[in-house]
């Protein structure tokens, strides 16, 4: 039943996110749906992204029950199988407590459109009062790619692991802009935001960012753990 390819892809994303400084503490999750089955792979709870190894990636079913694992699983992962059930288009989910993402979550709102990359989240970010799926489910719309959990962190969802990871790194950047720039900073006009979104899609920005994440995961892994880049 074990799928070593998916298991390795989850670890690859985790190490790349760790290189960006998004996995220094306990509590983040990366999961990937097993195609055609009510199953998903997800990482261990007791280790940081920086420490994760292949045996720390577990297989669970859509009831949240462990199918195959050598590790301890987070008690707060109900939203993973909940989202997979509600959104058949979602095949990968990333959740972290990255510094800028967590700072943004204290505002209880999506990041403002302060850069072309912020347009990925314009009108496609919901706010959920908690990380329990009973809260996320009603808040999550069909086209949303990000979920802000006030005073907690954020989640990104996508049809591929690459897109979910790239969106997460991009969300962290968008949140840094929002948190550090003043409230008087003008936001991008809606017509320009639409054009920027079109250009980014044409340029395949998410694909390129996913490749960068993967490279960073390799470059900053010292054979034992990931040492985050001082300049992500």
| Domain ranges for the chain | 4-219
pTM flag (> 0.85): yes
- The CATH code for residues 4-219 is 3.40.225.10
Mean pLDDT of 133-146: 97
Q: How far is CA 188 from CA 18, 62, 112, 153, 205, in A?
A: 30, 40, 9, 24, 19
Write the pLDDT tens digit of every residue in 41-53: 999 888 999 999 9
Contact 140, 153 (CB under 8 A): no
d(CA 172, CA 182): 17
109 DSSP 8-state letter: S
Q: Token pair of 145, please?
A: 């790619």
Number of other residues whose CB lies within 10 A of the CB of residue 222: 7
Read off the pLDDT of residues 186-195 as tens digits, 9 standing for 90 and up. Answer: 999 999 999 9
32 or 77, higher pLDDT: 32
Per-residue pLDDT at 86:
97
């Amino acid at each position: 039943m074990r799928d070593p390819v998916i298991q390795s892809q989850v670890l690859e994303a985790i190490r790349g996110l760790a290189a960006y400084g998004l996995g220094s503490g306990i509590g983040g999750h990366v999961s990937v749906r097993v195609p055609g089955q009510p199953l998903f792979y997800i990482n261990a709870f007791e280790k940081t992204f920086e420490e994760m190894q292949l045996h720390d990636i577990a297989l669970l079913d859509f009831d949240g029950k462990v199918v195959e694992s050598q590790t301890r699983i987070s008690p707060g992962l109900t939203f993973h199988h909940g989202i997979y059930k509600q959104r058949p288009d979602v095949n990968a989910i990333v959740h972290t407590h990255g510094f800028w993402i967590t700072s943004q979550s204290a505002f209880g709102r999506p990041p403002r459109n302060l850069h072309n990359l912020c347009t990925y989240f314009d009108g496609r970010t919901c706010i959920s009062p908690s990380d329990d799926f009973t809260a996320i489910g009603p808040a999550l719309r069909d086209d949303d790619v990000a979920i802000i959990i006030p005073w907690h962190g954020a989640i990104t969802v996508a049809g591929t692991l690459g897109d979910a990871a790239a969106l997460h790194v991009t969300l962290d950047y968008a949140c840094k802009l929002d948190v550090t720039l003043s409230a008087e900073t003008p936001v991008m006009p809606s017509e320009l935001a639409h054009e920027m979104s079109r250009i980014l899609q044409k340029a395949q920005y998410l694909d390129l960012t996913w490749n960068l994440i993967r490279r960073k995961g390799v470059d900053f892994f010292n054979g034992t753990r990931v040492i985050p880049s001082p300049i992500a």
